[in-house]
A and B are shown apart, each in its own frame.
Chain A
Amino acid sequence: MPHVQNGWYLAAWSDEVGRTLTQRWIAGNPVCFYRLGDGTPIALEDRCPHRKFPLSLGRLDGDVLECNYHGYRFDGTGTCVGVAEQQDKPRAATRRFRLLERDGIIWIWPGDPDRADESQLPDTSWLASPNWTHVKGVLPLKARHLLLVENLLDLSHETFLHPSTIGNAAVAATPIEVTTSGPRVFFQRRMVGVQAPPFYEKSMGLTGLVDRWQDGEFHPPGVFLLNIRLAATGTEEPEGFHMKVLYGMTPSTENECLDFYALARDYAIDDAELTTFQHEQQLSVMGEDVDALEVQELMYATERRRTVESSIRSDLAALRGRRVLQKMLAAEAAEESGGAVPATR
């Protein structure tokens, strides 16, 4: 399955990109990342226009990137400025991708740069706010992008996959409310007067019954934001403990993706021990997801006779998300084939 090109994907955390050439596959495109001397992040298609050698295997000479195969040299716009040791100056260029750096994130828009629309990104100012603290990272995943999207849009799996950390019976037992706004899909799961699962009990010292909110936002094609609130039951907003988890779900190739995460909290923000504990727990939860999604990928990939999947009410947000992605893909496919774009009303 191809990937949506006209949309933002999380390409890297700001501190992952520097003066070293780095390759990442984004939505089926090989991309070479680096920064110019003035700090501007650059993303070029990682194929030399000469003989397709990956530019990320080359070297930086000041702001000029030199291909390590035959010496083609490129500036930060991807334009060839000459060939090392030779007189020729070919008319050649490699594609430069549109990037946007904000709140410690480098976003990439693989499609038409003129269509890049910043308003499609969720608010991430909390990543830079002094009232919040966060941990972050990225895990490679050998599973198709859609499986990760559906994993996050149906958190009833926490009950079964993550019982020692964030899951308990209350999650699967509480129905979600799903709403849609344009291409975005939202769900709310409001658990009232339930047991706190182990992770939250340890993080917040909550012992009695709690109110636990999970408000999810899918910003297609590649961003998921989970707003979490925990409080002793009956406590009014804005009291209580708040957490946010941002996931950059970035497809790499057909059956691989990158799972970026940032886990933030608005309480005990100077407690380094708590930060370490929460990061360990987050990685443990994500490890369980990675294991599950990778075997799930294998099961999807090897099914010889496709049978119809069964679905239930808690799948609704995930199914809506899947439809949104299918529609975006269909619209891009129609455009590419020169046909009319299906009306999206």
Chain B
Amino acid sequence: MAPAARTAGDSGQRIGSPGADEEITVDVVRRRSVADDVLELTLVRPTADPLPQWTPGAHVDVLLPTGIVRQYSLCGDPGETGSWRIGVLREPAGRGGSAWLHDHAVEGTELVLRGPRNNFPLVDAERYVFVAGGVGITPVLPMVHAAERAGRPWVLWYGGRRRSSMAFLEELGGYGDRVRPRPEDESGQLDLATVLAEQEPGTLYYCCGPSGLIDAMRSRCQGMPSGSLRVERFSAVPQPAVEEPDGGIEVVCRRSGLTVAVPPGTSILDAVRQAGVDVLSSCTEGICGTCETTVLDGVPEHRDSLLTEDEQEAGDTMMICVSRALGDRLVLDL
């Protein structure tokens, strides 16, 4: 899978397994090419002990020896606790995380992981429409299997550049016409008007892929009941891997040129004010929006009441009186 930075899914729900931040050492036991530039790695503990439980949509952090941390969705079978599978797209434009795995992760290579965590959980629904773009298929693959096992009607629209670049087509072959591959060189871009032509009540839409696809889905699904569309966005922005639900964070105030440590229990608002940054605020409860601040980098963890789900998911603005960070660092326009 691509070097993936994640914003919280539409659900806002975070399902972490106990000990989600423990480091897990694994060995690569199998490496195979599953599409042009897409590598599948099968990982097991050297001790052969079972790995933590996970649910479809979950990802793990891979702590590369180069110091880079990358996040990859688990794409195997959650029932198989002895091993995990991840898919890695070589991203020439990336910062070298995927390239390192492509070049060095051979059978026998040791990797250190953290997780799994799930920001993109599969919620029970009457039926599902899955939309995957490119390597965005990885979290969707176990979802499809899970929907099938649960006996829920589903279809998968799967867009890619060309057939040979689309991973797991073979594995999905058994599902017949419920899997709808749309290689761009054969059928053009994935036509969302067709995807959304029939909207049956009770359907949840899951979409994973590049930003363009997600933005297009979002704008087309605006009229749907809130929560009908759940997305996971892959972007090339590297994210801090450490997640401390209420830990200390570092806030860089770009305009002021200050870096402020925000200890647990102190709001970002109070911390930056103490550091001398002038910020307007009123309610200090995440209601009024007076302290709204533009997020330049990092992923906010929203705790306000004013922003809509969509605005929270977009992650480009936050109420610093109550909201914090999903990682340990935020860069703000202050």
Which residues from chain A sit less than 8 Å from chain B, CB to CB?
119, 178-183, 308-313, 315-316, 319-320, 323, 343-345
Q: Which 7 A-B pairs have the closest CB atoms?
A: A311-B288, A182-B222, A180-B308, A345-B314, A308-B282, A345-B218, A311-B283
Q: B287 touching A180 by the CB < 8 A rule? A: no
Is B280 in the interface zone, CB < 8 Å from A?
yes
**Please, which residues of chain A bring their CB within 8 A of the CB of B281?**
308
- Name the prevailing secondary structure of the B interface residues: loop
Interchain CB contact (< 8 A) of B283 among A119, A312, A344? A312
Select one of B215, B280, B290, B305 contacting A316, CB under 8 A: B305
Interface residues of B (CB under 8 A from A): 215, 218-219, 222-226, 280-283, 285, 287-290, 305-306, 308-311, 313-314
- Can you list 20 A-B pairs, Cβ within 8 angstroms, ordered by A? A178-B305, A181-B223, A181-B225, A181-B226, A309-B288, A309-B290, A310-B288, A311-B283, A311-B290, A312-B283, A315-B287, A316-B306, A319-B287, A319-B288, A343-B215, A343-B314, A345-B215, A345-B219, A345-B311, A345-B313
Residue of B nearest to A314 (CB): B287
By a CB distance below 8 angstroms, the chain B residues around A182 are: 222-223
Shortest Cβ distance from residue B279 to the other chain A in the assembled complex, whole angstroms: 11
Nearest CB in chain B: distance from A223 CB, A: 16
| Complex Cα–Cα for A315 and B225 (A) | 23
CB pair A323–B306 under 8 Å, yes or no, is yes
Distance between Cα atoms of A180 and B215 in the complex (Å): 18
Q: Tell me which of B215, B223, B283, B313 has the highest count of chain A C-beta atoms within 10 A of its own C-beta.
A: B283
CB distance from A238 to the nearest CB of B (A): 20
The docked-state distance in angstroms from the alpha carbon of A345 to that of B285 is: 24
Instruction: Give chain B nearest CB distance to A174 CB in angstroms.
Output: 17
Q: Which residues of B contact A345 (CB under 8 A)?
A: 215, 218-219, 310-311, 313-314
> Judging by beta carbons under 8 Å apart, are A320 and B287 in contact?
no
Could you tell me the distance between the alpha carbons of A112 and B305 in the complex, rounded to whole angstroms?
34
Closest residue of B by beta carbon distance from A183: B222
Question: Which residues in B have their C-beta under 8 angstroms from that of A320?
Answer: 306, 308
Beyond the given A308-B282, A313-B305, A320-B308, please list 9 additional residue pairs across the A-B interface where CB-CB is below 8 A: A119-B223, A180-B310, A181-B223, A181-B224, A182-B223, A311-B287, A343-B215, A345-B310, A345-B311
Instruction: State how many angstroms separate the Cβ of A341 from the closest Cβ of chain B.
Output: 11
B residues less than 8 Å from A308 (CB atoms): 280-282, 290
- For A119, the chain B residues whose CB sits under 8 A away are 223
Please indicate the chain A residues that have their CB under 8 angstroms from the CB of B314 in the complex.
343, 345
- Nearest A-chain residue to B289, judged by Cβ: A319
Of the candidates B224, B288, B311, the one whose C-beta lies within 8 Å of that of A315 is B288
